[in-house]
Structure 1
């Protein structure tokens, strides 16, 4: 029941999702993974998905560590028997929830733990923030890049099965650059300035700072902003955008990837990906490739094929169904010209 009052002081909304037990907030998801990596001795064996970005791989890339990759198929599913074999003597296993789809069930995690009780299992939910499961009986950690989902200059989430004693550090250099870049982008979009080079350059400089990883904490600005977000409303907007694209993008030259409305993006596969991406950017629609892979990673399963053909369409809470309609129109126009 909501009480009704008129007048007096303003109320302040605060969501309680981010106040749960064993939620730890880092500057970035990369810093959170780096914390986990440093909980282990050197010369550890790490099992990672070949279809992943540098932010996942770099924290485990110390010279003395041994990284073993596993592949995925065209539906972003891994072969369970392959992963089981790799994990028999491994210290760490990392799994990714691709495009809103939970990567495993508890029975699979239990099987891994039964064969190797000391293995540390990490679930990366950066592409599935709105997925229901945040605590797993047989997974040790869940991580997520918060700044991919919200208007934040910094933020990475680590959820632990057990209470942690983390000595956080503070470094505002990344936060300051990203905050200034965000403010400048707002001014550019609202015609308060004409030069977009500053916020692009500032973002690039900020990204180089992330290469220096440590237990850096999220900024106070980003943490308190997180607490003010209406999570249910954001989820509703994103789901509506996802469903619209799913129902209205019907071009035969585009394959829709198995994904759900919790996804970070709306992913598609297309043969002329690079040309389509360039065309959309020329029309002010910026669709990232998730991800460009190095030659070794491309060798596993269908990773090379997916990296060459995938394009990810933004569906976040900044945008409306009118924006989704415009994206569909532009893609249809492109396909008509190139058919």
Structure 2
């Protein structure tokens, strides 16, 4: 039976909804935090806390559309700074943008790498009042940061099986606003879809896969049309309370390092080009695949391995920033999360090796036809 690796998490039917007990958090060292429905709502919640003079935001070019939307919803004009092939922010872009006196600067720890220290220092030298908002979704379970932001956001539903859930953190003082959970289509559709996926994994009925994929698609469509900022559902919060974060971090480290050792570097170069230590927790195993990215993504999917692209860029960024466009066009995110074993990682590596063998065979046939 074909195994499946990647795509959405699933929720086992025996997961409970216990709301008692101590809150299982990693952000206790910060002044205050709120759990939101989604990452974009965590950004929106923080923007509601910021006192602005010009409503100008400074954002990196390697960014997904959903992260851009909260700024647009709040009436911000956007200034961009580019990055190089190693995800280092372009300091000259930042210097130019600082002339517009932005109110807030968003930085992102792409794939767990902290490359923003120089950019933040430069921005803070220009203005002590500039608010630094750090998206730590990819680095949330790392042990340390290289600079101190004013606020942090992280989408937690990308890390484990939650129907909804993100966190907004105030690093220096308390939030003024509160959040409430209200029933919503996004939460219900995703919760049901994740249960259906669990059933599908157990019995492989194709109709179940069609159903849960339809629900997931409808959930994403619903949140695109919903501009509310909601709190996390009690069900998702109860799952966070029961999570074994230490196990999750250990499994992700082990799986990443297995892939690092096994995946043929002639196919794609790892973006995080080092072994993961006990101080870090990988979000995924990202690689750059020139020329063959779409073909290998399709090949892996045919063999039950689903690798997303992080991220398709906003049109104005894609057309004007070549390096970010290159990264978006050639990056592939290989799953290495806690759902999977060493055998699963070896299966991924063997499947990629099989793709290389097929490509070499096709090249040989072409060369033979011309000889």
TM-score normalised by L of structure 2: 0.82
Indicate whether 1:335 and 2:335 are aligned. Answer: no
| Secondary structure, counterpart of 2:78 in structure 1 | strand
Matched, 1:198 2:207: no
CA contact (8 A) 2:45 2:168 kept: no
Q: Which residue of 1 aligns with 2:47?
A: 37
SS at the partner of 2:164? coil
> How does 1:1-339 map onto structure 2 within 5 Å?
15-17=24-26, 19=28, 21-39=31-49, 40=51, 44-62=55-73, 64-88=75-99, 89-105=101-117, 108-133=119-144, 137=148, 139-161=149-171, 162-173=173-184, 174-191=186-203, 193-195=205-207, 196-211=209-224, 212-258=226-272, 261=276, 262-270=281-289, 271-298=291-318, 299-339=320-360
Q: Deviations over 1:256-294 (max 9, x none)?
A: 213563231101111210011111111110000111124
Check 1:326–1:308 CA distance in 2 against 1; reply closer, same or farther (3 A cut): same
Shift, 1:83, TM fit:
1.8
Separation (CA, whole Å) in 2 of partners of 1:155 and 1:87: 33
Q: Shift of residue 315 of structure 1?
A: 0.6
- Which sits farther off after the overlay, 235-244 or 256-265? 256-265
- The answer (yes or no) to whether the contact 1:167–1:215 under 8 Å persists in 2 is no
Give CA-to-partner distance per residue, 1:17-67, whole Å, 9 cap, x none. 355541210011110111123334586111111111112101011484211
Tell me if the contact between 1:48 and 1:94 (Cα under 8 Å) persists in the aligned partners: yes
Q: Any idea what SS the aligned residue of 1:302 has?
A: helix
Task: Measure, in 2, the Cα distance between the counterparts of 1:91 and 1:16.
Answer: 30
Report the TM-score, using the length of structure 1 for normalisation.
0.90
Contact 1:26 1:157 in 2 (8 A): yes
Shift of 1:133: 3.1
Aligned equivalents of 2:132 and 2:191: distance in 1?
Answer: 33
Partner of 2:212, secondary structure, is helix
Tell me the secondary structure at the aligned position of residue 46 of structure 1: strand
- For residues 40 and 124 of structure 2, what CA distance do their matches in structure 1 show? 25
Go from structure 1 to structure 2 and tell me whether the alpha carbon gap of 1:90 and 1:24 turns closer, same or farther (over 3 Å shift). Answer: same
Shift of 1:130: 1.5
In 2 relative to 1, CA 71–266 (structure 1 residues): closer, same or farther, beyond 3 Å? same
- Native 8 Å contact 1:92 1:122 kept in 2: yes
Listed as ranges, the gaps of 5+ residues in structure 2 are: 1-19, 361-371
Shift of 1:227: 1.5
Which whole-Å CA distance do the structure 1 matches of 2:346 and 2:183 have between them? 39
RMSD of aligned alpha carbons: 2.3
The alpha-carbon distance between structure 1 residues 256 and 134, as it changes in their structure 2 partners (threshold 3 A), is closer
Query: Aligned pair count?
Result: 327
* Cα deviation digits, residues 49-94 of structure 1 (max 9, x gap): 1111112101011484211111111111112232243234111100
